[in-house]
Amino acid sequence: MIKCTDIEKIYHDGGDPTVALKNISFTIEKGEFVAIIGPSGSGKSTLMHILGALDSPTNGIYELDGKNVSALSEEQLADIRKKKIGFVFQSFNLLPRATVLRNVALPLVYADVPEEERLARARQALLSAGMDESRFDHLSNQLSGGQMQRVAIARALVNDPALILADEPTGNLDSRTGEIVLDTFQRLNRELGRTIILITHEPYVAEHADRIITVKDGMITSDVKNLHKRIINHHDA
């Protein structure tokens, strides 16, 4: 589903060029749960921006579902983000004065989906993310951190994207709540076959994925199957 071939990213800021990524090549099959891990400055955030169609490589080819994303215009990249990728961020990015249901339905407003269908799809996405139906009409600022992240996951699911891209999704959560959120990703992958890429700097978080790609100094230093995957089953946030 994803194929990166000799990806390079070079920044020119008036001085000497800065090479953020060099010779990055890998494939990710549909239904995989992959963690990309690396310290600050390793290049993992730059790679995340390219995988999320938020930026383009300087050199190389990035393909998503057979389409060469690296050759697209800004308008086409925006279309890919809207239709093919669901984002989950560390900071949740929810509207505080909107209900849980409205927050999740929001991407469908921009896609011109009729209201009745929007709300039905938002409800289904929330249930898939493990959100209790009794909280659908709560304002997002009335929720716990774990509940807010589940709402953010549901919002990422609502457009039925080919890829869920999660950037440090447990960074603002305590360890127990973080495990609940990671369990949600595991269930989405295991039970619904969702393709998930998890960006993290924490080895413990990466160990919940089936495969771990390690990035350092702009290069992939290892790409291994995770034989010691942590399986968790929490259902309360």
- List, run by run, the mean pLDDT of 10-residue segments along the chain (237 residues): 96 86 96 96 94 94 92 90 91 91 92 92 94 94 92 94 93 89 92 94 94 97 91 62
Domain boundaries, the chain: 2-225
CATH topology of domain 2-225: Rossmann fold (3.40.50)
Predicted pLDDT of residue 227: 86
Predicted pLDDT of residue 225: 95
Predicted pLDDT of residue 13: 78
Sheet holding 2-11, edge to edge: 18-28, 2-11, 59-64, 67-68
- In the numeric block, the tokens 């989405």 are attached to 188
Predicted pLDDT of residue 91: 87
Cβ within 8 Å of residue 195, ≥6 positions away: 1, 2, 28, 29, 30, 31, 32, 33, 162, 163, 164, 189
| CA dihedral of 55, 57, 63, 69, whole degrees rounded to 10 | 50
| CA dihedral of 141, 147, 152, 154, whole degrees rounded to 10 | -130
Structure tokens at 150: 């589940």
For residue 4, the cross-strand partners are: 26, 62
Predicted pLDDT of residue 14: 74
Predicted pLDDT of residue 210: 96
Predicted pLDDT of residue 234: 58
The CA distance from 108 to 115, in Å, is 9
- In the numeric block, the tokens 């799809």 are attached to 121
Predicted pLDDT of residue 109: 87
The CA distance from 49 to 231, in Å, is 28
Predicted pLDDT of residue 126: 95
